[in-house]
Every structure is written in structure tokens, then in C-alpha cells.
Amino acid sequence: MAGDKCDFEQTFSFCPLPSKKFSFLQDRETLELFMKWSMLGRVSAQTYSFDQCFYPYSSDKFALSFLRDPNVVSSLRKTEAGAWVPLDKPIVSVAVEPVPCTKVSMELFDPIYSCGILRPSGHLVKCLHDVYPDYDELRQMLQEEDSEQYRVFGREERAELLFRLFKHLCVGGELCQYEDTIEPYISTTKKIYRDLISVQKDPETKKISVVSTVFKVCAYDESGRCYPGRREEDQTFAYLIVDPFKRHVTLFYHSYGVGTFTL
């Protein structure tokens, strides 16, 4: 049909949805934890509508269109030198990493409760470390491939958005004050995940499944890497979370560093 467009001809236009609010960014308890974990003011979520059908195989073109769109560029901010700043140069290319997003419960984390990382009370088991004086088995499992507990979770499980969110919270920001128990990490991960993803229920089987498509993005201008940060850092990230039915995309962003500030 004349009105249809092939994917390679497809262009996307985006419009900010400022009325879309995220409960985890309004919740006092969560904000207090963000402050404690040195993430307050450095984590953000913004939703935009778009005008064309989205297909996962078009993620690269979608991400490039998103980061070049005037409505996105005018509302987009990154952190640099302790302040929120706009993108000052046009994006010339993007790198996109597909992120699996299939989990609809917190059962993914069940192994944590039986592998020796926690005491029966839910407190984290402390351990010695050459670099970090206040270290625990949880962060060791999350970050160090040669640790005894690292293989509690396999590669596929670690790739899931749910696991990534959990790890981001556990590692925290540059001046993070770490928790003594697991519960704040688990409950906050659940709040954020439920806020970010979209699900649907099969009317026949009643089974709930995730409909969101997620990918991690990195953008480059004429000078090189520019977004989500000039320097590659695990705790500086940008995820695009697409609801193909509502035609909404949410940008979930965090910048690693010192200090808190507001938009």
C-alpha cells in the first residue's frame, strides 16, 4: 500500500510526555535511598511518544532517530562536571546493545537467599577486600568473576534488565553508603522495574508476559563518545525501553559521579 513504509525507509518522530510520572521518582523512601547510594539527582526517566510502528530489528535506526529528534534533543540532558548540560553537538552514530527483558517476578533472585551471601537474618555477609575496606559477598558476587559466588547467576540471567537494575543499585554511585541487608536493594529494584516495563496478560492462559523491548544505547558526536557520558563507566548508562503497542519509549539514565543536583 502507498501509505506503508518499508523499515529501511522508516523515520520516527518523538514527542515528550511530561505528564508521565514515575512512582519511584516520587516515592520518599526511594529518594532517600538514592541519596544514601549517591544516585539522587543523577538518575532520571523520561517518556516520549513516537509515530511509527516499532520492530526490534530496527533498534539501531530507532535509537539514532531518537537521539537526533529535535524534541528529544531539546529536553535531553546529561551530567558533566557536576551539572546537567544539554547535548551540544549533533549525534552522528549510535551503538545499541539489546537487553533481554522477560522476567515478571522477583524469583530471579531466589539463589541469593541460599548461596551463603546472606545470613538467616537477611544481613549481608562481610568479606575482606584488597581495595574496599567495607566489602560484602553480594558486591563480590556481582562484580568479580573469580569470586566463589559469581556463578550463582549465569550469563543469561545477568543479561536481564531486572538483574542489571539490581546490580546498578547495589553498586551505587561514587560516594555510596552500602546497605547491611538485602531488602532495600530488592524492594527498590522491584519498584523501578514495575515502573519501567509494560506487560500484558494472555486472555486464555492468563499468563503475564513482558511486551517491552529494551536496549542500552551509547551515542557519538564528531568528537567521539558523548552520551550517556564521554567516559565509559558501568554505572553511567542509558536504556531505551519501548512499548510497541502504546508507541511510548522511556529513557532511563544514570550518571556516575559525586554530588546531587536537579534538572
Q: E strand or H helix at 239, and its extent? A: strand 237-243
Q: Kindly state the greatest CA–CA separation across the chain.
A: 66
Q: What is the pLDDT of residues 245-256, one digit of tens each?
A: 999 999 999 999
- Sequence length of the chain is 263
**In the chain, where are the structural domains located?**
12-263
How far is residue 34's CA from residue 234's CA, in Å, rounded to a whole number? Answer: 17
Q: Which of 170, 157, 63 is nearest to 107 (CA)?
A: 157
> Can you state the angle between helices 183-196 and 28-36, rounded to 10 degrees?
120
In the predicted model, residues of the chain with pLDDT beneath 70 are 1-10, 80-84, 131, 258-263
How far is residue 25's CA from residue 160's CA, in Å, rounded to a whole number? Answer: 22
Q: What is the pLDDT of residues 9-54, one digit of tens each?
A: 568 999 999 999 999 999 999 999 999 999 998 999 999 999 999 9
Q: Which of 217, 164, 216 is nearest to 193 (CA)?
A: 164
How does DSSP classify residue 257? S
